[in-house]
Amino acid sequence: MPQTLIDTNVLIYAYDRSEPHRQRQALAVLDHLVSAGQGVLSTQVLTEFCAVALRKLTYVLTPEQVEARVTHYAHIFTVLPVTVPVIQMGLRGVREHSLSYWDAQIWAAACLHGLPLLLSEDFNPGTVIEGVHFANPFAADFDWATLSLDTV
């Protein structure tokens, strides 16, 4: 399995008790990526996770809980910074690929760091933009076996 950039929604669903099926799937995805040593986050994803976990979950987390989770994720996953080149490429993603800015920025982080796979429910599964393949880990047909380097 290739190095995989994890979008914010995967982290959020791991704590969303109002969506038990998605919560189970998010936890399984995160466990799989930890076991395989293949998970990657960006500082954008961690920032969005903080904002949502503190305000928008049905059962919001405390600042202390969020800080503990961010610290934990930073220890188990590679974390990529949002840099000026990521911002610039994100703007190109808006212009050339009609992505929303925040989606374009996460795509840019994956693209610039050579990550061939981005897990998110925010993109059309099966889409490939400049070598970055998008998969929805919450889709009924999601299957790790189809995400090998041979097919991605």
The CATH number assigned to the domain holding 129 equals 3.40.50.1010
In a domain, 152, yes or no: no
Distance in angstroms (rounded) separating the CA atoms of residues 56 and 48: 11
Asked if the model's pLDDT at residue 149 lies above 60, the reply is: no
Task: Evaluate whether residue 126 is within a structural domain.
Answer: yes
Beta bridge partners of 133: 117, 128
For residue 152, name the pLDDT band (cuts at 50, 70, 90). very low
Query: Considering only CA atoms, which of 93, 115, 122 is closest in space to residue 105?
Result: 93
Among 50, 44, 37, smallest CA distance to 120 is for 44
For 30-64, the pLDDT digits (tens) are 999 999 999 999 999 999 999 999 998 878 899 99
pLDDT digits (tens, 9 = 90+) for 67-101: 999 999 999 999 999 999 999 999 999 999 999 99
Residue 104 lies in a domain: yes
Q: Which residues contact 51 (CB under 8 A, 6 or more apart)?
A: none
Number of domains, the chain? 1
In a domain, 33, yes or no: yes
